[in-house]
Amino acid sequence: MRANNVPESVKRGIEDVKEGKLVLIYDAEDREGETDFVVPAASVTPQTVAYFRNEAGGLICVAIPSTAADKLGLPLMSDILKNVNDHYSYLRKVVEGKGDLQYDKRSSFSLWVNHRETFTGITDRDRALTIKKIGEAVERVVNGSDNPSDFYTEFRAPGHVALLRAAGGLLDERRGQTELSVALALLAGISPAMMICEMLDAESGSALSKTDAQRFASERGMSFMEGKEIVDAFYSFVSI
């Protein structure tokens, strides 16, 4: 890697996620304009889940690369709905259409799952177990040491943890929080399964502003990265 081409914020973020620490990623003004909490799935505890829901407040999801999703047999939810049988053909109408999403061409949602050892699936303990086990499943298929059908033995759906499938071309194709968090994991050389959650503003009812998110990170000594910084770092790496 040409270290001089990697922003200092990303260098710090890489070291933090290597240590299993929480980092903040802001996508871009011309996308969602949101900052997400991001942490490796392998590091998640019930306390991590509680912190995410209390301090961030958005939807807790797990982002994984398309290669792992393919091996695990996890399609986009929109593709599932587009291909339902004729008995449920009306469900095809709910799939996002052209222009439905103002910030992108499509969403990244795949299945919602619970690990089979959970009870309701929604408690901090249950979600932490599900998320850690997703991280382990991704690690195994990335290393080529797992049978993809094992995923369906280990997890059930519907559940309470949303899986997000990164674009096949990753940052070449899409630069949402899903791709940015997976790219950060790849830069750090860790298993590319990342728990993410949007930071919301209880007063405005909107996404927390970039300024407030930066202040939050600064006051707590956390890494804050912009999407464009991760993109620059990623292409500095892959160009070697």
Closest CA to 113 of 85, 55, 166, 72: 72
Catalytic residue among 70, 154, 160, 232: 160
Distance separating alpha carbons of residues 85 and 137, to the nearest angstrom:
30
Distance separating alpha carbons of residues 110 and 135, to the nearest angstrom:
15
Catalytic residue among 61, 115, 139, 146: 61
Catalytic residue among 16, 32, 34, 36: 36
Catalytic residue among 5, 103, 172, 173: 103
Catalytic residue among 114, 115, 124, 146: 114
CB burial of residue 122 (10 Å; 0-12, 13-18, 19+): middle
**φ, ψ of residue 115 in degrees (nearest 5):** -70, 145
Q: Which residues contact 231 (CB under 8 A, 6 or more apart)?
A: 171, 175, 180, 183
Distance separating alpha carbons of residues 208 and 36, to the nearest angstrom:
10
| Residue 4 designated active-site | no
Catalytic residue among 16, 198, 226, 229: 198
Q: Report whether 34 contacts 233 (CB < 8 A).
A: no
| Residue 61 designated active-site | yes
Helix axes 227-238, 8-18, angle to 10 degrees: 80
Q: Report whether 188 contacts 235 (CB < 8 A).
A: no
| Residue 198 designated active-site | yes
Ramachandran quadrant class, 64 (left: phi over 0; alpha: psi -120 to 50; beta: rest): beta
| Residue 79 designated active-site | no
Distance separating alpha carbons of residues 112 and 164, to the nearest angstrom:
9
Catalytic residues: 36, 61, 103, 114, 160, 198
